[in-house]
Amino acid sequence: MTATTTMDATPISHEKYEERAFGFWIYLMSDAIIFALLFATYVVMLGNTAGGPTGKELFSLERAAGETALLLLSSATFGFAAVALANADKSRSLLWLLVTVALGAGFLFLEFREFRGMIAQGAGPDRSGFLSAFFTLVGTHGVHVSIGILGIFVIIGQVLIKGLTTPVVSRLARLGLFWHFLDIIWVAIFSVVYLPGLF
């Protein structure tokens, strides 16, 4: 690690940001393993409906498609925010970040409605092993999305207060990694849970 002189405005060297980005990738890998195991559990417990409702009876392709559209779009808008950032366009990046939040919130809203409906008709996570696995897999993803939205608010705050400084930009980059990662997980959920569940 090279030392910097006192004349440098940002006391943290370039290597430090590199290390943080790298470390964040490693963290995402460990998160991927958690999701992989949740997927495996879900697949193993597909048949454990204990006489209760199955995926076919519960899932709605329209809603899943809507959630997918919202989330994928939010990844695109996050990308637009990142492009605006690279062009040092503060207001544009803030705008796209807010749009991302709105889309993400829309996704969560649909998911919340889905969960609430299922629980209301007696198909909550305590009904069967299959449903426990479903709620935990999809719910864990939802919790991650919520944390991501919180993170975007924090970044928006930082951009407003500090401007597009190096540390803020590097945090935004990592948050972007997180957001796109959640997108990939959702594609897997759509493919493994909703699509097969309907056939």
Partner 1 sequence: MEIFGRLTIDSLPFYSAIAASGAAVTMLGALSVMALITYFGAWRLVLFDWVSSLDHKKIGIMYIMIALVMLLRGFIDAAMMRSQQAIAYNNDGYLPPGHFDQIFTSHGTIMIFFMAMPFLSGLINLIMPQQIGARDVAFPFMNSVNLWLTAAGAGLVLISLVIGQFSTAGWTGYPPYSGAEYNPGVGVDYWLWAVLISGVGSTMSGINFLVTIIKCRAPGMYLFRMPLFTWTVFVTSILMIFAFPALTVACGMLALDRTFGMHFFTNAMGGNMMNYINLFWLWGHPEVYILILPAFGVFSEVVATFSQKRLFGYISLVLATVAIGLLSFTVWLHHFFTMGSSANVNAFFGIMTTIIAVPTGVKVFDWLLTMYRGRIIFKPPMLFTIGFLVTFVIGGLSGVLLAMPPVDYLLHNTTFLIAHFHNMIIPGVLFGYLAGYMFWFPKAFGFKLNEKWGAWSFWCWIIGFYIAFMPLYVLGLMGMPRRMEHYDVAAWQMHLIIAAVGAFIIFLGIVCLGVQLALSIRDRQQALDLTGDPWNGRSLEWATSSPPAPYNFAVLPKVRSVDAFWDMKQRGVAYHQPDRYVDLVLPKNSFIGAFIGGAGFVFGFAMVWYMWWLAVLCLAAIALAVIVRASDDDTDYVMLASDVKEIEDARCAELAKAPRNEMADDPGFAGEPVLEASA
Partner 2 sequence: MIVRLALPYRLQRVASAFGLVLLCSGCGALTSPDLDPSGPVTLAERLLLFDAVSIMMIVVVPVFIMTALFTWRYRGTNRNARYTPNFAYYWPVEILVWGVPAAIIVWLGFHLWEGTHRLDPYKAIDQGVEALRVEAVAQDWKWLFIYPEQNIAVVNELVFPSGTPLALRITSDTVMNSFVIPALGGQIYAMAGMQTRLHLLADKPGRFMGRNVQYSGRGFADQQFDAIATFSKEDFEAWAAKVKASLDTLDAATYEQLAKPSAKVPVTYYSGVEPNLFDKIIAKWRRGDEIDPSAPLPANGNRRMRNSGDLR
Catalog residues that contact partner 2 under the rule CB under 8 A.
47-48, 50-51
Task: Pick the closer one to partner 2 by CB: 4 or 48.
Answer: 48
CA 154 to CA 171: how far, in whole Å? 10
Six-digit token pair at 196?
A: 């097969």
In this chain, which of 86, 150, 184, 187 binds partner 1, going by CB under 8 A? 150
Classify residue 160 by burial, with Cβ atoms within 10 Å: 0-12, 13-18, 19+.
exposed
Min CB(171)–partner 1 separation in Å = 7
Separation between Cα atoms, residue 98 and residue 156, nearest integer Å: 8
Give the DSSP H/E element, type plus range, for residue 153: helix 129-162
Minimum CB distance to partner 2 smaller for 48 or for 165: 48
- In the complex with partner 1, the residue whose CB is nearer, 66 or 129, is 129
Binding piece for partner 1, criterion CB under 8 A, among 40-48, 61-69, 80-88, 188-196:
40-48
Helices marked H in 5-128: 14-44, 55-58, 61-86, 90-120
Nearest to partner 2 of 11, 51 (CB atom): 51
DSSP assigned state of 121: T
Angle at 162 between CA 145 and CA 166, to 5 degrees: 80
List the structure tokens of 67: 């959630």
Give the contact letters, 154-183, x = binds to partner 1 (CB under 8 A), - = no.
x--xx---x--x-x---x------------
The residue range among 78-86, 98-106, 124-132, 185-193 that interacts with partner 1, by the rule CB under 8 A, is 124-132
| Contact criterion met (CB below 8 Å) for 92 and 8 | no
Is 15 a binding residue for partner 1 by CB under 8 A? The answer is yes
Q: Are 169 and 90 in contact (CB under 8 A)?
A: no
Closer residue to partner 1 in complex, CB, 23/117:
23
Positions in the binding site for partner 1 (CB under 8 A): 1, 3-6, 10-13, 15, 18-20, 22-23, 26-27, 29-31, 33-34, 37-38, 41, 44-45, 48-50, 52, 125-133, 135-136, 150, 154, 157-158, 162, 165, 167, 171
